[in-house]
Amino acid sequence: MTADDLRQAVARIRWYHRIDLGGGIVTPGESDTFGVLPRLRFPDSFRGMTVLDVGAWDGFYSFEAERRGAERVLATDHFCWSGDGWGTKHGFDLAHRVLNSKVEARDIDVLDLSPETVGTFDVVFFTGVLYHMRHPLLALERVANVTRRWLILETAVDMLWCRRPALAFYPGDELGHDPTNWCAPNHAALGGMLETVGFRRIEVVWHQSLLYRLGRAAKQGLEGRGFLRALGQGRTVVHAWR
């Protein structure tokens, strides 16, 4: 495939992830994956580890784990590959081919994950998925069952003003004008749910600062979208170990 052919192939796909395909060609993803990556606190090397990427979509984090030396990487998705959303598997397949990747792929729903269906893995990525789950505790239980050692989780959080475990429920499109966003816990609830499904050590390794949230809330308040609600919302990255 020539560089021009690749550019044309990239242009035919609606991308969510920005992926460097080499030769100066970067996919025009809606998510700034290069900006998000440092927040996840990946180790410099995954050498000798097996990795499961749950909700892989275009596969940026799967390919990154492979680049960092993972022994085996399995990318899984269902909603974004063959569900009702706007995503497809075309981006993953094109990047996989261009990068000459050995990452494995499996179209499977989060709630169907189990040692019997996919096996177990040293490290599991669960990024940008939890708040799309109508049954978040059950989803975490399924993810925990296939995690041997270490979970890296990124999610939306809400009700950050509340010290008790609490979870916001969105029956409509209240979060990001996206009706597929169902709920978001605060940190106390997230930690409690992770402990409930069997994780023994839990660490918040990144979260949006109060200053950032204040600025965003002020902007939304001026737009009439609710200052206090926005102030209580953010994103976080948690590492959890079995």
φ/ψ region of 230 (left if φ > 0, alpha if ψ in -120 to 50, else beta) reads alpha
Full-model pTM: 0.95
pLDDT tens digits, residue range 189-235? 999 999 999 999 999 999 988 887 888 788 877 777 778 788 889 99
Whole-angstrom distance, CA of residue 221 vs CA of residue 195: 36
* Residues 21 and 95: beta-carbon distance below 8 Å: yes
Phi, psi of 94 (to 5 degrees): -65, -45
Whole-angstrom distance, CA of residue 187 vs CA of residue 190: 5
Cα 147–Cα 188–Cα 110 angle in degrees, nearest 5: 35
pLDDT at 176: 83
Topology annotation, domain 34-241: Rossmann fold (3.40.50)
List the structure tokens of 75: 């990318």
Q: What is the mean pLDDT of the chain?
A: 95
List the structure tokens of 207: 């979260």
Choice between 222 and 159, residue whose per-residue pLDDT is larger = 159
pLDDT tens digits, residue range 123-149? 999 999 999 999 999 999 999 999 999
Q: How far is the CA of 161 from the CAs of 103, 187, 189, 228, 234, in angstroms?
A: 41, 10, 12, 10, 11
Q: Give just the sign of the alpha carbon dihedral 13, 16, 22, 23.
A: positive
Q: How far is the CA of 62 from the CAs of 15, 29, 53, 108, 197, in angstroms?
A: 15, 16, 6, 16, 24
- Domain coordinates of the chain in residue numbers? 34-241
Phi, psi of 86 (to 5 degrees): -85, -10
pLDDT tens digits, residue range 109-119? 999 999 999 99
